[in-house]
């Protein structure tokens, strides 16, 4: 279940009794659509190289078997400075009058804290993280897309790594999207470093960054059809010329098994 982020626990800093904005009217708290606050889902079981079978794969990945892995929502305390950042972020968002559902979920996994953010509040959340004196995440050091495959609800994720040079900390933001409505606001106005990275995520995954100053392809030709890093994108079938030789397409390569 999604953690109730408005109630960190009795006696903890930033509890619901102390945090501004928790007295929002019930109708204000419930104004966002249910579709925007579904449980963020990630991870899927993997079988073979990219799920492809019968292609004559000689890479050794044909027998690959990996179970699905989904980091669960983390209960407080998160540990170390994670609690301080979470408390300061919730307090700052509350002071701006944003509803509690801005942060859909918090996970701590492999020594990283991730805040799953509702896309309609992404820009304001980033601005808060950048400008609040207790947070000061001044740099978006990385932005990337992820596709967890057709069988996963909200399969497309836009992932942001934010760095605080003031406090020497790093956090992750993540926005989960439906493939049929893969729109998320651009954060270029807050973090100019996101410019080319949003273009790459659009080019490779088809995530549309609304408000981007020039959302054009950056790796593939302008007239390229589709987004090559989506899991359902065809692997090819086109022979490739390389230094005078020709590499056959995957489905025509010789199998050694």
Q: Are strands 245-247 and 240-242 parallel, antiparallel or unpaired?
A: antiparallel
Reading the block at residue 189, the tokens are: 């106005």
Q: Is residue 13 part of a domain?
A: no
Q: Is residue 85 part of a domain?
A: yes
What is residue 37's predicted lDDT score, i.e. its pLDDT? 47
Name the pLDDT band for 239 (thresholds 50, 70, 90).
confident
What is residue 246's predicted lDDT score, i.e. its pLDDT? 81
Q: Write out the residue range of the structural domain in which residue 66 sits.
A: 44-252
Name the pLDDT band for 20 (thresholds 50, 70, 90).
very low
Looking up tokens 């609690």 gives: 83
Q: Do residues 122 and 185 touch, judged by C-beta distance below 8 A?
A: yes
What is residue 174's predicted lDDT score, i.e. its pLDDT? 96
Q: Is residue 9 part of a domain?
A: no
Using CA atoms of 10, 93, 36, 137 in order, give the dihedral in degrees to the nearest 10: -110
What is residue 160's predicted lDDT score, i.e. its pLDDT? 98
Indicate the DSSP class of residue 10. Answer: T
* Each residue's pLDDT tens digit, 162-192: 999 999 999 999 999 999 999 999 999 999 9
Q: Is residue 33 part of a domain?
A: no
Q: What is the CATH number of the domain that holds 95?
A: 3.30.460.80
Residue 71, classified by CB atoms within 10 Å of its CB into exposed (0-12), middle (13-18) or buried (19+), is middle
* Each residue's pLDDT tens digit, 42-101: 677 777 665 566 665 555 566 677 777 778 899 999 999 999 999 999 999 999 999 878
Q: 17 pLDDT exceeds 80?
A: no
Q: 33 pLDDT exceeds 90?
A: no
Count of positions (residues) in the chain: 257
Q: What is the DSSP string of 42-75?
A: ----EESGGG--SS---SS-TT-EE----PPPPP
Q: Is residue 223 part of a domain?
A: yes
Number of domains observed in the structure of the chain: 1
Q: Is residue 12 part of a domain?
A: no
Residue among 39, 45, 36, 60 nearest 149 (CA): 45
């Amino acid at each position: 279940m999604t953690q109730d982020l408005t109630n960190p626990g009795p006696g903890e800093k930033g509890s619901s009794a102390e945090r501004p904005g928790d007295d929002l009217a019930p109708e204000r708290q419930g104004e966002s659509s249910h579709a925007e606050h579904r449980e963020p889902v990630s991870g899927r079981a993997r079988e073979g190289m990219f799920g492809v079978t019968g292609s004559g794969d000689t890479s050794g990945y044909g027998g690959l078997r990996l179970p699905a892995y989904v980091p669960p929502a983390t209960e407080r305390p998160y540990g170390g400075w994670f609690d301080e950042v979470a408390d300061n972020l919730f307090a700052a968002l509350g002071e701006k009058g944003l509803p509690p559902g801005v942060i859909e979920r918090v996970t701590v996994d492999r020594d990283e804290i991730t805040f799953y953010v509702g896309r309609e509040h992404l820009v304001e959340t980033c601005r808060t993280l950048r400008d609040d004196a207790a947070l000061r995440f001044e740099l978006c050091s990385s932005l990337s897309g992820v596709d967890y495959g057709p069988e996963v609800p909200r399969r497309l994720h836009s992932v942001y790594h934010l760095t605080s040079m003031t406090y020497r900390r790093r956090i992750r933001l993540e926005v989960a999207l439906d493939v049929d409505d893969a729109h998320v606001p651009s954060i270029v106005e807050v973090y100019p470093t996101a410019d080319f990275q949003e273009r790459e995520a659009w080019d490779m995954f088809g995530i549309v960054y609304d408000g981007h100053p020039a959302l054009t392809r950056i790796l593939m030709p302008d007239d390229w059809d589709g987004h090559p890093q989506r899991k359902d994108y065809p692997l090819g079938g086109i022979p490739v010329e390389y230094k005078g030789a020709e590499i056959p397409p995957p489905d025509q390569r010789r199998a050694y098994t």
